Amino acid sequence: MELGEYQNQAACTKQRYKSKDQENYLLGYLGLAGEAGSVLTTLKKLMRDGEGFGSFAGRLTEELGDVLWYVAAIASHNDISLEEIAHRNLLKVRDRFQEIELNSLPRFDELYDERFPDSFVVNFVEQQQEGFLTVSMRWENEAGSLELGDPLTDNSRLPNQYRYHDVFHLGHIAFLGWSPVLRHLMKLKRKSDPIALDAEDRGRPQVAEEAITLIVYNYAKGNKMLRKSDRVDTDLLNTIQQLVVDLEVAQVSSFQWEQTIIASYQVFHQVVENKGGRVLVSPKDRRLEYLGK
């Protein structure tokens, strides 16, 4: 049976009730909550009785059917089709959980002369300056060593290692092929394409990327700095998706963002523990690796 056919037939069995709240259909929502509770009650009986609860599959099918009826009734009351609900749900769960390799992402600068190198090395150097620990980021290339930006402090009353946060920007390059912040520092803005320059390489995208690194860092502080984590909260990933709306990186899935964050934090911890050192960045191979000092 198709979802649309089920929804139409379910609508023919909608009950009438005496409440004055026909317009908001609150009883439908309460019915859904009640039937969801019945599903849990069925599970409780299985846990209590074990194999003695031989009718589990049948009872579960019945209770899930009641849940589906209320979902269909609420959807019909609000002129929403079950097909649309199913379609949107699949898009959502695919974005969040479908395992998509990072190397399936396109190189956003593939067709430009101003592209990130296929592979390069950045050296993080920690120093004491005027009472503050600072970190400089130096790009090692054929011309020697080019300092990227100014030395960073933690910008905090309490030491927190944020002076090393440029590792996360390097992670964005390595795994996503994207970083308007580093594109600016490495003088790789796409000036050959005024539209790409304005929409992808200037202020707003840079602010969005810095916001992502800070939001994720603050989240990490409350989660043991992601040392033992292989996933992050969906709400955090949803926030990231909101920050990159209309940017080229918007096509990156939540799953791919999650992989990028976890892998970048692994390298971040190595850099922090060694008080600096060299990091290999390869957007070609989707690789970020700590090389040591």
Per-domain residue ranges for the chain?
3-97, 103-292
Asked if 160 and 221 count as a contact pair (C-beta separation under 8 A), the reply is: yes
What is the rounded average pLDDT of the residues 41-52? 92
Find out if CATH 1.10.260.40 is the number for domain 3-97.
no
Q: What are phi and psi of 125, to 5 degrees?
A: -120, 120
Tokens 């709306």 locate to 245
Asked if 125 and 147 count as a contact pair (C-beta separation under 8 A), the reply is: no
Question: pLDDT digits over 223-248, tens only?
Answer: 999 998 999 999 999 999 999 999 99
**Nearest Cα to 281, choosing from 197, 131, 171, 156?**
171
Query: How many CB atoms lie under 10 A from the CB of residue 258?
Result: 21
More confident residue, 277 or 105: 277
**Buried b or exposed e, range 109-138, using 16+ CB within 10 angstroms:** beebebbbeeebbbbbbbeeeeeebbbbbb
Query: How many CB atoms lie under 10 A from the CB of residue 251?
Result: 12
Percent of the chain whose pLDDT exceeds 70: 98
pTM summary value: 0.89
pLDDT band at 14 (very low <50, low <70, confident <90, very high): confident
Give the pLDDT score at 22.
64
**Mean pLDDT in the chain?**
94
